Structures are given as C-alpha cells and as structure tokens.
Amino acid sequence: MQKKEIDADLVELCPVRSVVARFTGKWAILVLLVIDQQEVVRFSELSRAIPDISTRVLSSTLRTLEADDLICRKSYPVIPPRVEYSLSPLGKELIPKIKDLTDWASRNLPSIKEHRAQFDQQRTELVE
C-alpha cells in the first residue's frame, strides 16, 4: 500500500473521532461509570458522587450523552421536578469497553507516572 492510500484510509476514519470525542471528554466516562454502578441515578446523586464537577458541566455532559443515545433521561411530572438517568442499550454496550480501558489505565498508571517524571526531568536538564 502506498503512502497516499494509507493517508486516505486514515482520513476516512476521522469521523470516528467525532463519536469517540463525545464520551472520552474529561467527565463523560466517569458519569457513565457512576450511572452504570447505580443503574438509575438522579442529578443530585451524580453531583454528590462526582463532587469535582460543576453543575453546568454535569448538565452539559448529560445532554451530550443523551444526544448520543448513551443514556436515557426520564422526567417525572411532579413538584419539585424529578429526573432520573440510566444507561441506554448503547451505553450498556459501551461500558465493558470503558472498563477494559480503565483497567488498563490502572495497571499501567505507575509505569506511566514514572515515565512522565523521567521525561520531565530530561526536559528540565535540557533547558538548564
């Protein structure tokens, strides 16, 4: 295969980035894992489970995940309003892949941290 053919194949894969980027943002994976763990969860429960996330960012993340059909949102006509989130079938299909990735990250975190430190040290030595 020639270089131009390889580049064309890679470019064809670019649309996949738009899908992957939506659930690999800073908070989306964590939100999906919390919903998976609790099966059905309310906004306030998510907010307590992930205390570092702002209300605005959590709302935005939930809207994105719902738009991509990774979660389901169920609203109840009560006062005060009650909304529950759960994984959609597509979201449930994604969870094992996320768990594989997080397992890999956990296993390799010490090595990655060590390499980062070595890399930073080498860069510092070059600057000095």
| Angstrom distance (rounded) from CA 84 to CA 45 | 10
| Angstrom distance (rounded) from CA 2 to CA 32 | 41
| Angstrom distance (rounded) from CA 102 to CA 5 | 34
| Angstrom distance (rounded) from CA 101 to CA 104 | 5
- H-type helices in 24-54, by residue range? 28-38, 43-49
Tally the residues of the chain.
Answer: 128
Please, which pLDDT band fits residue 103 given cuts at 50, 70 and 90? very high
Please, which pLDDT band fits residue 1 given cuts at 50, 70 and 90? very low
pLDDT for 87 beyond 60: yes
Nearest residue to 52 (alpha-carbon basis) of 64, 76, 70, 34? 34
Taking residues 46-59, what's their average pLDDT? 94
Nearest residue to 69 (alpha-carbon basis) of 14, 19, 17, 30? 19
| Angstrom distance (rounded) from CA 91 to CA 32 | 8
In the chain, the domains with their CATH numbers are: 3-127 (1.10.10.10)
* pTM for this entry: 0.78
